[in-house]
Structure 1
Amino acid sequence: MKTPCTAAASALIVASWTACVLLTGCSHAQTPAAPASASAAPAPQGLCNAGPAQFVLGKSSTESVVESARLRSGAHKARILRPGQRITKEFDTQRLNLEVDDGGRIIAVDCG
C-alpha cells in the first residue's frame, strides 16, 4: 500500500518523465530536414591521399618537407614514425604517416 507521500513522489516522477519525453520529441521536430535535392552529402574535408605526397621519399624529414607532404596529401595532420617508436594503432583518415630511417630519411608514406 502506498503512502500519500510515496504516491505523490511517484506521480511527480511520472509527470517529469512524461514532460522530458514530450520535450525531446519537440526538439527533434524542430531540426530541419535535409533538402530533397541533395542526393549525397559532400565528401569530408581533410581526407588523406598519400599518392601526391610520395615525392618526399628519400628526403630528410625536415619541418618544411613534412608540411609540404601534408599539404599535398590533403591531410589535416602529419606524424613522423621513427624506427622502434611506439605508435597508436587507430586509423585516422585525416593523418599522413611518414616513416623514417635512423638517419631521418623518409622511407614510406601512407595515411592513417
Structure 2
Amino acid sequence: MERRAGSFAVFGLLALLAACAPGTAPTPPGPAIPAVEDDTCGAAPYARLIGQDATALERELIMRQVRVIRPGMVVTMDFSAQRINFEIDDNNRIARIYCG
C-alpha cells in the first residue's frame, strides 16, 4: 500500500510540472486591441505598435502596469483591468494588445 501511495505522489508531481510547462498558457481570443467599452487599461493609444518589432516597446514610456507575453511563456491567470498586455508573436512582432 505504501508503494502505491508513493506512485500517486510521483504522478501528481509530474502532472503539476506538466501544467507549468512552457507553451501551456492559452492565448486569449479576441481582437488586436480592446473595444472602446472594454479598454479599462488605456490600450488604445498603443494600437499603432501592432505589427512592429517587440523592441518598439523599449522606446515607449508606459506609466501603468504592463505585461509582455512571449510565445510559450507561462502566464498567470490573474486579471487586472488596469494592466496592458502586449502579446508578442513567433516573429518577435507585437500581435495583440489587451487589458487584463
CA RMSD of aligned residues (A): 2.1
Q: Give 1:94 shift.
A: 2.4
1:107 counterpart SS class: strand
User: Number of paired residues?
Assistant: 61
Structure 2 unaligned residues grouped into runs of 5+: 1-39
- Flag the 1:55–1:83 CA change in 2: closer, same or farther, 3 A: same
Deviations 1:44-95 (A, max 9, x none): xxx6122111110011111x52562x63xxx612111112211011111221
The percentage of counterpart residues that share the same residue type is 34
More helix by share: 1
- For normalisation by structure 2, the TM-score amounts to 0.51
- For normalisation by structure 1, the TM-score amounts to 0.47
2:81 to 71, 74, 93: 93
Structure 1 unaligned residues grouped into runs of 5+: 1-46
Larger Rg computed on CA atoms: 1
The runs of 4+ residues in structure 1 deviating greater than 3 Å are: none
Counterpart of 2:69 in structure 1 is 81
Relative contact order: is structure 1 or structure 2 higher (C-alpha 8 Å, sep ≥ 6)? 2
